[in-house]
Amino acid sequence: MSTRPLLGRFKRIGMLALAAALGLTTALPARADQPSEGVEQAPFKNPDGSFCVVHLVKKTEPKLSTKPVCYDTATEALKDASGGAITDVPADGKGLGSPEFVAKIKAHNDSVARIRATGARADYIIGAVFQLEWYEGESLFISGPTTCPVGDVYYDTDFTGTWWDNRTSSAQSYYQCYGLLWQFTFSGQYYHVQGSTPLLGDFDNRTSSVEFY
């Protein structure tokens, strides 16, 4: 083993010590791979609220991206995500991700056109991500103005800078929607979600942005 890397390391430590002694602020370069990526991290509860919603918009150029709005109860979150149509989800979110819940979302999506025909508002629920495996823990629901497929028009949301960055451990896509979980902001490695995905394997806790199409 060459001594060159060791010398380089000592030189770097020496410079950092010198900078600290001089009271200089050292700006660390932006890391491509955050230390939190791939591990369950504190705080385990989302301080903004356990149940979040993103209303996605059709992707246009320049790229638009929306941030999650979070609630303390699943009742409020699903009411928001559905555009006011779903009002009977248990506050504690028990059963989210269950086959019964997925059937409920499908029934809702089937009714959106009929609700809108009456002049009332309704939105499609096109996907969800969950903090823990098997749709447990904190959750985030993704709502869209149209159902899928939407051709080459994608819906997207960037988790960077939110509690949800590197948290996702299971996911669902509803109706004919598919999801892409991205390692970075729509770049890096990705994981394809088709329907219910209870385990993400090597992609566990690595999602920093998502697209649905």
Interface positions with Ca ion (CB under 5 A): 131, 167, 169, 205
Question: Residue 77 Cβ, how far from Ca ion at the closest point, in Å?
Answer: 18
> Cβ closer to Ca ion: 46 or 131?
131
The 3-state secondary structure of the chain, one letter per residue: CCCHHHHHHHHHHHHHHHHHHCCCCCCCCCCCCCCCCCCCCCCCCCCCCCEEEEECCECCCCCCCECCEEECCHHHHHHHHCCCCCCCCCCCCCCCCCHHHHHHHHHHHHHHHHHHHCCCCCCEEEEEEEEEHHHEEEEEEEEECCCCCCCCCCEEEECCCCCCCCCCCEEEECCCCEEEEECCCCCCCEEEEECEECCCHHHCCCCCEEEEC
> Cβ closer to Ca ion: 79 or 167?
167
Question: Residue 131 Cβ, how far from Ca ion at the closest point, in Å?
Answer: 5
> Cβ closer to Ca ion: 59 or 167?
167
Question: Residue 40 Cβ, how far from Ca ion at the closest point, in Å?
Answer: 5
Question: Residue 209 Cβ, how far from Ca ion at the closest point, in Å?
Answer: 16
What residue is closest to Ca ion based on CB?
169
> Cβ closer to Ca ion: 133 or 154?
133
Question: Residue 62 Cβ, how far from Ca ion at the closest point, in Å?
Answer: 31
> Cβ closer to Ca ion: 104 or 167?
167
Question: Residue 73 Cβ, how far from Ca ion at the closest point, in Å?
Answer: 21
> Cβ closer to Ca ion: 143 or 166?
166
* b/e code 90-118 from CB counts within 10 Å (16+ = b): eeebeebbeeebbebbeebbeebeebeee
